[in-house]
Each structure stands twice: as C-alpha cells, then as structure tokens.
Chain A
Amino acid sequence: MSATVNGNGNGNGSVTAPAGVKLPIYMDNHATTQLDPRVLEAMMPYLTTIYGNAASRNHQFGWVAEQAVETAREQIAKLIGASAKEIIFTSGATESDNLAIKGVAEMYRERGNHIITQVTEHKAILDTCKRLEKAGYRVTYLPVKADGLVDLEDLKRAIDDKTILVTIMFANNEIGVVQPVAEIGKICRERNVIFHTDAVQAVGKIPVDVNKMNIDLLSLSGHKLYGPKGVGALYVRRRNPRVQISEQINGGGHERGMRSGTLNVPGIVGLGRACEIAGEEMEAESKRLIALRDKLKHKLEGSLDYIHVNGSMEHRLPGSLNMSFVYVEGESLLMGINDVAVSSGSACTSATLEPSYVLKALGLGDDVAHSSIRFGLGRFNSEAEVDYVADKVIDVVQKLRELSPLYEMVKEGIDISKIEWQAH
C-alpha cells in the first residue's frame, strides 16, 4: 500500500481548480480581510491631495480633514447604534481593548478592583488582564461550556461588590461562537457593572446595538470588515450611564483627551466607509455566507468520517467554520492545501508548540485540537471556491489518513485512548 499526497505549490494534485477560480484562495477572513475597492476609493483623496491635520483649527486644510473624520464617526456610530460623540479612534482593536480595560481599571480603582472575563478571549484581553493582576487587581476567568458559550449563571455568581468591569467578547476569532451579549449586558446593568465587549469579529457581520444590548464599551477594528489595517475604534458610552476611562496615551488631548495622537485621517475615512458598506449589505451578505459555510460543512461531512465542528453551530458568525479532522495533524493538512489560506489550531503552526487554548477550553483533547482547521469565509469568496476547497480538503485528508497509524488503528477497532503513549 502506498499513499501519494499532492498539493505542492499550485494545486497540482488530483483536485484541480475549475475555470474562474484563481489560486491561491483566501479563506482566512478572521485573521484579516481584503480591503474593499470601494473603501480604497473613499480613502484615496486623503492619501493624496487632502492631507490636512484634523486638529488644525485655523485653515481649511484642517477643516476638510476634520469634516471627513466626523463623517466617519457618524458612519461607525450608526452601524452599532451609538452616537458619533461616543466613538474614539485608535490604532486597532488591541489598543481599544487596552484602553477600555486599563482605562476603567484606573478610573474606578476606588470603587473596586475586580474584573471578570472568560478563558477564550483574545490575547489582547487576557494579557491586559494578567498585567492588571500584577498591579493588584483581581481577575476572574470564567470557563466556557463545550459549545464555547459562557454560562450566565457563572457570570452572575462571579460578580461581587468589588466588580468594576466585565469584559466578554462578542464573537470568538477561532471558533466563531457568538456569546449571549444582550443577556450579559442586562446582568451587568442590573448589577451596576461596566460591560466591555471586544466586538472585532462581530461588527459589520451581525447586528450590534450598544443600547439594546447594554454595552458600555466596545472595541472594533478596520481590517476585519474590509477596511484598512492600523485603525480601530472604541465606543465609550456617554449616557445612561456615563462611562469614564483614564487615558493611556498622553499628548495633544485628541479624542476628548481619551486618546492623544494625530488622527489617521485616511484610515478613519476607510473605517467609516467600511462600516457604511457593511451596514447596507449585512442582511444579504450574512445569508449568502451562511449558505456557503453550510455547503462547505455538508460536503466535508458527506465524504469524511471522524470530523466534527468545534463550537456551537447555532450561535455562530455567518462565515465561520472550525472543524477537527481527527487522526490528521493540522499542519500537515495545511501543507496539502497550500493553495488555500486557512488557519489551524495545531501546535505545529505556532512558535509555542502548544495547541490552541481556545479549543482546549471547549474540553477538546490536545490530539483533536491538533487536527483543527479554521475556515473563514468572507465577502470575496465564491461558491466555486467553496466547492474547490471542499474537494481539496477531502482529497488531502483521505491521503493523510492513509498515512496515519492512528486512523488505521481506529479502523481496526483499537481504542487508541487506552494506549499509554509516551509523551515527548
């Protein structure tokens, strides 16, 4: 018996790309997205002829730039149900997360020192919380259930009279699971605790309304919704109740003192336009992506055994699918489908050699976490691409399973969980 695994370079394996499908295919839209040409078009004047500093109050170069910034502020606010004055521009979601958490921690230190978050947050949240722990704050990291969702009862129990902030993401970047944000917001409001959500993966993909959902602080980023990199925003509630944050960057007092630094006008214009497009197209686009994602899932499930979806299917972003292909190691799978850009939860793809902490938090064994692939469908993916990717993945998984001693053992009826492996 022998196995041949194709996929070196240009998709020259037994599965070939149909006409009209251009390789490589980008299907990693949780990592970043392609700049929409309409966004670039909106940005171009501000990268060329309109170069004023939005903080220049004394001449029309400044006024024009400021006007563009204010238009963008309106566009962003509209997408999340906020008012324009509640939008603070930053360099991206990592900065927004840092500003929100450290800003609240510092501002409300007198009131309490307890922060609640959960284990599958992005590192921008987790590492910021760890830093605050070193500074004397207490942080509770809520577990998640097997479907990736936090248990609201756990949250209620965790809140005490010293709790000043709950920070729980809207949608997860690895598994696409959408948290019960409105319920979390309600609990926080009832208990008079500030609620921050890292909504980077959600904004522009699914409906977000800061008032209906009782969100007090919200982080978003341009490059996750077909806008430019290096620009993001933090929503800071001004009314019912007013939320205050301590600034983390000092300087010229831009953004009402909350974030000094000359505004990135072209980036901000791009972010605004990206939000506008996302708002207009969300309903139709999310239907299209759900159909494509489900097609991908059904095709894979129709041809392969021992595969499963990680995280809730019901509470999930439209374009998101994270699947484990058990008995196949994730990096070797990526190598076989290297004309398709996706991500793996495998340790081998990271510098740390540790498999994804998010998948482990769902209770997945390391072996299954090593076998996971994250598909991130986006605005520029077509049905023909989905068909090609499904066929390619099926082909490579089948070939790698012919190579897999684990798959062979399982097929022979051996329970590999009963084997005492020698960890190395």
Chain B
Amino acid sequence: MAYSDKVIDHYNNPRNVGQLDKASSEVGTGLVGAPECGDVMRLQIRVNPETQVIEEAKFKTFGCGSAIASSSLATEWVKGRTVDEALKIQNTDIVKELSLPPVKIHCSVLAEDAIRAAIGDWKKKNGVAEGAEVAQPTAR
C-alpha cells in the first residue's frame, strides 16, 4: 500500500508521544480501540482550568501507520483549542489532511473517538456537563 507523505511524516516523526498524569484533575484520558482489532489509541489532554484551553496533548498508539498518523495529528490539532472547539474535530477532517484511503477511514474514526473520550473523561472529573460520550474500556 502506498502511504501519503503526511502519513509517512507522522509515522517517522510522531508528535507528542508520551503520557500525562492520569490522576491529575486537569488531565483527561481517552483509551479507545481493541488489541484484537489491531489498533488501540490512548490520547491524553491537559486542560487549563481557567480558560478550558487544551495546553498539552500526548498519545500512544498500537496500530498501523495510518492509525499512528491519525492520533499524532489529533494531538497537534487539539493543542491550543478549547475543549468545545476540540469536539468539533471530525474524522473526515483527518481523512482529508492525511489522504487516507477508504480502507483506513476507521483509523480516523478511532482518532475522533479518542479525542471525545479524553474530553469526556476530563469533563467527568471536573463535573462539567457531558457531551457526546464514547465508550471506554473498563477493567473486568
């Protein structure tokens, strides 16, 4: 499969890789996907409690190059936005930016889910009214 230059760039130089303190009230964590489906994304945001601006974002992804690129791009895009602005990011924007082929659209959907899940987690911690929630894995 041929990858777009942008996918290759994110794969070779992934932005914002890492981990934020899950326990912090300023941090929201989204963990989406499933190992048996071949992709798992963890996207974390640190939100300024005064301004509700996402000041930091980190990710780690198990998945194909397109999944890595989608989540790397998602961290770039959420940074500097308020949580409400970040919720407006749609998977189709990611598809367009990375020129993902149809078979890789699910990677962009997962990245959008990851953003929503991280914001949902932050809102829950901070008692903010819930927006669209995304199912997250739970310990069983």
Chain A contacts to B: CB under 8 angstroms: 1-8, 327-329, 331-332, 335-336, 346-349, 351, 353, 355, 365-367, 370, 402-408, 416, 418-424
Tell me whether B127 is interfacial, beta carbon within 8 Å: no
Across the interface, which residues of B come within 8 angstroms of A406, CB to CB?
A: 35, 40, 62
Interface pair A405/B8, CB less than 8 Å apart: no
Contact of A332 among B13, B60, B68 (CB under 8 A): B68
Across the interface, which residues of B come within 8 angstroms of A4, CB to CB?
A: 12-14
Query: 9 A-B Cβ contacts within 8 A?
Result: A4-B13, A329-B63, A332-B64, A403-B62, A407-B62, A419-B139, A421-B40, A421-B137, A424-B33
Contact of A6 among B3, B12, B36, B137 (CB under 8 A): B12
Across the interface, which residues of B come within 8 angstroms of A408, CB to CB?
A: 19, 60
Expressed in whole angstroms, the Cα–Cα distance for A346 and B64 within the complex equals: 9
CB distance from B76 to the nearest CB of A (A): 14
Expressed in whole angstroms, the Cα–Cα distance for A366 and B113 within the complex equals: 22
Interface pair A5/B12, CB less than 8 Å apart: yes
8 A Cβ contacts from B1-42 to A: 1, 3, 8, 11-14, 17-19, 31-42
Contact of B38 among A6, A336, A348, A402 (CB under 8 A): A348
Expressed in whole angstroms, the Cα–Cα distance for A113 and B17 within the complex equals: 59
Expressed in whole angstroms, the Cα–Cα distance for A331 and B63 within the complex equals: 8
Contact of A403 among B3, B14, B33, B35 (CB under 8 A): B14
Tell me whether B138 is interfacial, beta carbon within 8 Å: yes
Across the interface, which residues of A come within 8 angstroms of B138, CB to CB?
A: 419-420
CB distance from A201 to the nearest CB of B (A): 25
Tell me whether B95 is interfacial, beta carbon within 8 Å: no
Tell me whether B80 is interfacial, beta carbon within 8 Å: no
* Count of interface residues, chain B, beta-carbon cutoff 8 Å: 41
Tell me whether B96 is interfacial, beta carbon within 8 Å: no
Expressed in whole angstroms, the Cα–Cα distance for A293 and B101 within the complex equals: 36
Across the interface, which residues of A come within 8 angstroms of B70, CB to CB?
A: none
Chain B contact residues: helix, strand, loop or mixed? mixed
Chain B contacts to A: CB under 8 angstroms: 1, 3, 8, 11-14, 17-19, 31-42, 60-65, 67-68, 103, 106, 109-110, 113, 135-140
Contact of A404 among B62, B106, B110 (CB under 8 A): B62
Contact of B106 among A331, A418, A419, A424 (CB under 8 A): A424
Q: Given A420-B139, A420-B140, A404–B36 Cβ distance below 8 Å? A: no
Expressed in whole angstroms, the Cα–Cα distance for A423 and B37 within the complex equals: 7
Across the interface, which residues of B come within 8 angstroms of A405, CB to CB?
A: 31, 40-42, 60-62
Across the interface, which residues of A come within 8 angstroms of B62, CB to CB?
A: 327-329, 403-407
Expressed in whole angstroms, the Cα–Cα distance for A5 and B109 within the complex equals: 24
The chain A residue with its CB closest to the CB of B7 is: A335
Among A8, A332, A406, A407, chain B packs the most CB atoms within 10 A around the CB of A332
Expressed in whole angstroms, the Cα–Cα distance for A7 and B8 within the complex equals: 9
CB distance from A138 to the nearest CB of B (A): 32
Interface pair A403/B38, CB less than 8 Å apart: no
Expressed in whole angstroms, the Cα–Cα distance for A420 and B36 within the complex equals: 11
Interface pair A348/B64, CB less than 8 Å apart: yes
Q: Given A332-B64, A419-B138, A370–B38 Cβ distance below 8 Å? A: yes
Across the interface, which residues of A come within 8 angstroms of B40, CB to CB?
A: 405-406, 421
Among A328, A423, A424, chain B packs the most CB atoms within 10 A around the CB of A424
CB distance from A4 to the nearest CB of B (A): 6
Interface pair B36/A421, CB less than 8 Å apart: yes
CB distance from B110 to the nearest CB of A (A): 7
Expressed in whole angstroms, the Cα–Cα distance for A178 and B110 within the complex equals: 40
CB distance from B107 to the nearest CB of A (A): 9
CB distance from A392 to the nearest CB of B (A): 14
